[in-house]
């Protein structure tokens, strides 16, 4: 292990400095300057393309109405993610001695799925419905891959993306595909409901009733009608507005320092690496433990990521057109997806970090026996290289609400009323020039950051 000394001393070079500061991106977004946020990200692009930056670039370009640029960034992110999903042995090995930041970052499953939502919206706004449907099929294939590769897949984000795709298929007149996607959305919401606290949106049930009747699926129609009741009747010379309201920011991962006591009676790492791994599992149970100094051999300090809830001020929406007001329904809770995903991954992150810490400690002990000065340098190098992996898609919204309402054919002005946690109106905006066509669906998305 002492052969690792030169590497430990020079490994900080591998990390370098972050290519961009997300706080500057956030400041521009909060000020309504999405173009400036996009230009900042482009100017400070990492020399080697990476997933977090591509996700940020894709979403900010979307909000800046730079739809082709947004799609390009999302395509690049997905290519990198697919390439990295197969474990990189070299970087995996290095991460045991340095930091999880050297592990290939593939993006979380829910992040990869929601990228298809924004990618498809890019095409909708360019009147490229066929390309939007391709994104839906790619998202469906990705869900099937996740389901097939994990016996305990969490289904985070699947209900929303299936719901969204069902709406797109319906918009394009592909009724059979719409029925299949609405049915999948119903099941996916149920699969994740216990952990996301989002039940099946009522509109999914009404859509299943409406479309099964249209397709003359008698048994399915009777079943869904019994479960969900009759949907509102389609009014003559009316179309539908479907607005997705995105609010706040998903909470960011932060670094947390933890200490674990190694006792004088502990034995590990003398015979083989398996012994160290076994002891790391024991050490994991000592988080926060306080022991008498006389029993303490070493206090191991590690850095791990942490994430805490940070709900936005605005947590709901009402859309008014004339005298008609419709409430939004929560259809995606990205914060909950992020926290639950992190909680699932934390035990293995902690174990891997403890193994890394123990290997550094053993390297320090060997160096210290030969030369205390070198030992001190090794110990310092180990501390410097210890850094938590806090990578994530930071510009994602915290929650997404949906409003679906029938409106007369024509051009409308929308009044958007955003609700605070008490259910009272916290802010208002107006959106003009919304065109509704009879028997057609108009899709919009809107974002606030408060």
* DSSP string for 70-92: HHHHHHHHHHHHHHHSS--HHHH
What pLDDT does 275 receive? Answer: 85
Scanning the structure block, which residue is given the tokens 């992040």?
A: 111
CB 297 within 8 A of CB 262: yes
CA distance readout (Å), 262 to 62, 275, 283, 293, 320:
50, 14, 8, 11, 63
Q: Return the ∠ at Cα 331 (arms to 135 and 57), rounded to 5°.
A: 50
pLDDT score for 103: 74
Residue 409: strand pairing partners:
none
- Name the maximum alpha-carbon separation found in the chain: 88
Write out residues in the chain with pLDDT < 70, as ranges.
Answer: 1-18, 85-99, 270-272, 368, 372, 374-385
Asked: is 2-200+232-253+307-342+390-448 a CATH 1.25.40.10 domain? The reply is yes
Write down the pLDDT at residue 438. 95
SS3 357: helix
* Cβ atoms within 10 Å of 402's Cβ, excluding its own: 21
How does strand 324-327 pair with strand 317-321? antiparallel
Token digits for 231? 């949907």
174-200 b/e with 16+ CB inside 10 Å = b?
A: beebbbbbbbbbbebbebbeebbebeb
Rounded distance between C-alpha atoms, residue 428 and residue 418, angstroms: 6
CA-angle at 362, arms to 360 and 363, nearest 5°:
60
How far CA 77 is from CA of 113, 142, 161, 384, in Å, comes to: 12, 14, 18, 30
- Residue 254, classified by CB atoms within 10 Å of its CB into exposed (0-12), middle (13-18) or buried (19+), is exposed
Instruction: Give, for 265, the enclosing helix (H) or strand (E).
Output: none
pLDDT at 360: 86
Q: What's the confidence (pLDDT) of residue 383?
A: 60
73 CB neighbour count, 10 Å cutoff: 28
| pLDDT tens digits for range 307-319 | 999 999 999 999 9
- Do 158 and 143 meet the contact criterion of CB atoms below 8 Å apart? yes
Which residues make beta-bridge pairs with 301?
259
Distance of alpha carbon 366 from alpha carbon 353, whole angstroms: 20
**Residue spans per domain, the chain:** 2-200+232-253+307-342+390-448, 254-306+343-385
Q: What is the pLDDT of residue 41?
A: 96
**What pTM was estimated for this model as a whole?**
0.91
Whole-number pLDDT of residue 150:
86
Q: pLDDT, tens digit, for every residue of 210-237?
A: 999 999 999 999 999 999 999 999 899 9
**Alpha carbon 9 to its chain's center:** 34
């Amino acid at each position: 292990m002492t052969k690792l000394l030169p590497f430990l001393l020079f490994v900080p070079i591998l990390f370098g400095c972050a290519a961009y500061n997300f706080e500057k991106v956030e400041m521009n977004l909060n000020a309504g300057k999405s173009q400036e946020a996009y230009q900042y990200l482009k100017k400070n692009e990492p020399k080697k393309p990476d997933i977090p930056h591509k996700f940020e670039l894709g979403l900010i370009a979307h909000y800046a109405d730079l739809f082709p640029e947004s799609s390009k960034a999302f395509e690049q992110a997905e290519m990198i993610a697919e390439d990295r999903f197969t474990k990189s042995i070299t970087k995996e090995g290095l991460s045991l001695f340095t930091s999880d930041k050297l592990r290939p970052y593939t993006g979380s499953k829910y992040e990869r799925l929601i990228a298809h939502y924004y990618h498809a919206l890019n095409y909708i706004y360019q009147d490229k419905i066929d390309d939007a449907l391709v994104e839906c099929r790619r998202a469906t294939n990705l869900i099937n891959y996740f389901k097939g590769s994990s016996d305990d897949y969490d289904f985070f984000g699947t209900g929303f993306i299936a719901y969204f795709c069902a709406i797109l298929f319906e918009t394009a007149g592909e009724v059979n595909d719409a029925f299949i996607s609405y049915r999948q959305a119903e099941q996916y919401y149920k699969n994740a409901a216990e952990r996301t606290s989002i039940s099946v949106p009522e509109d999914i049930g009404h859509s299943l009733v409406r479309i099964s009747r249209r397709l003359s699926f008698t048994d399915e129609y009777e079943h869904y009608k019994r479960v969900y009741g009759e949907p509102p009747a389609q009014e003559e010379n009316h179309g539908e507005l479907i607005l997705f309201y995105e609010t706040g920011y998903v909470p960011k991962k932060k670094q947390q320092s933890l200490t674990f006591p190694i006792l004088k009676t502990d034995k590990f790492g003398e015979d083989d690496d398996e012994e160290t791994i076994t002891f790391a599992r024991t050490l994991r149970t000592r988080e926060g433990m306080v022991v008498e100094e006389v029993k303490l051999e070493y206090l191991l300090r590690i850095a791990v990521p942490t994430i805490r809830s940070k709900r936005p001020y605005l947590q709901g929406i009402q859309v008014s057109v004339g005298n008609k007001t419709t409430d939004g329904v929560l259809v995606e809770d990205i914060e909950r997806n992020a926290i639950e995903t992190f909680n699932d991954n934390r035990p293995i992150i902690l174990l891997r970090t403890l193994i890394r810490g123990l290997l550094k400690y053993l390297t320090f002990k060997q160096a210290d026996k030969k030369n205390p000065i070198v030992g001190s340098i090794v110990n310092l190098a180990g501390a410097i290289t210890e850094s938590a992996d806090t990578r994530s898609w930071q510009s994602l919204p915290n929650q997404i609400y949906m409003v679906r309402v029938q409106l007369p054919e024509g051009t409308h002005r929308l009044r958007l009323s955003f609700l605070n946690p008490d259910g009272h109106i916290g802010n208002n905006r107006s959106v003009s020039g919304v065109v509704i066509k009879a028997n057609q669906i108009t899709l919009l998305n809107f974002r606030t950051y408060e």
